[in-house]
Amino acid sequence: MTTGEWIEFIEGGGYVTPTLWLADGWNTVNSQDWQGPLYFEKAEGGYMQMSLLGFRPVDLAAPVTHVSYYEADAFARWAGHRLPTEFEWEIAAASVPPQGRTLGQNHLRAMPAKAGATLQQMFGDVWEWTASAYLPYPGFKAAAGAVGEYNGKFMVNQFVLRGGSCVTPEGHVRATYRNFFYPHQRWQFMGLRLASSA
């Protein structure tokens, strides 16, 4: 979803319509006074966003960034769609080379999609929220030591993101890479992709 589409959500009452939100999300919106993505604010003449390049006007064609799972889910509902499961995302990504705008390209922000292909930006630009809880795969057994603690200890109350971002190191993106965050977090370059049931 682009920043321009997100502005339509904001101006269409997305942050003040309780029926769009999961209960915990609605509580968070109200207790934290969310009115848009993190680092995002309305200014005279348009919207601005703080970035690694400083405070700048938003790029309406670029993917929206710094949105929580709660926001992504509410936007999907508002748009009449849903978030994909991580398995749907992985199947779609299997048909796309695992390349995108990551840290090595030095953009330090999400960029607009290139003209052409229909399935774009699966890798790089923004991590994409999925509807899947971060749970172990069947047969998972935590390894001994710190790696096992890291991989096993945090498998609760978090959701899976896929695809990498503009600050993901080169070589770290692949269709099977799972990132995970709590549903209220939005400090990372997090965005979304919509899915529809056939």
Give pTM, 2 decimals. 0.93
Residues with Cβ within 8 Å of 195's Cβ and at least 6 positions away in sequence, in order, are 81, 82, 83, 84, 85, 88
Reduced to 3 states, what is the DSSP secondary structure of residue 29? helix
pLDDT at 117: 66
pLDDT > 70: percent of the chain: 99
Q: Which domains does the chain have, with CATH numbers?
A: 3-192 (3.90.1580)
pLDDT, tens digit (0-9, with 9 covering 90-100), for 105-130: 888 888 889 877 678 899 999 999 99
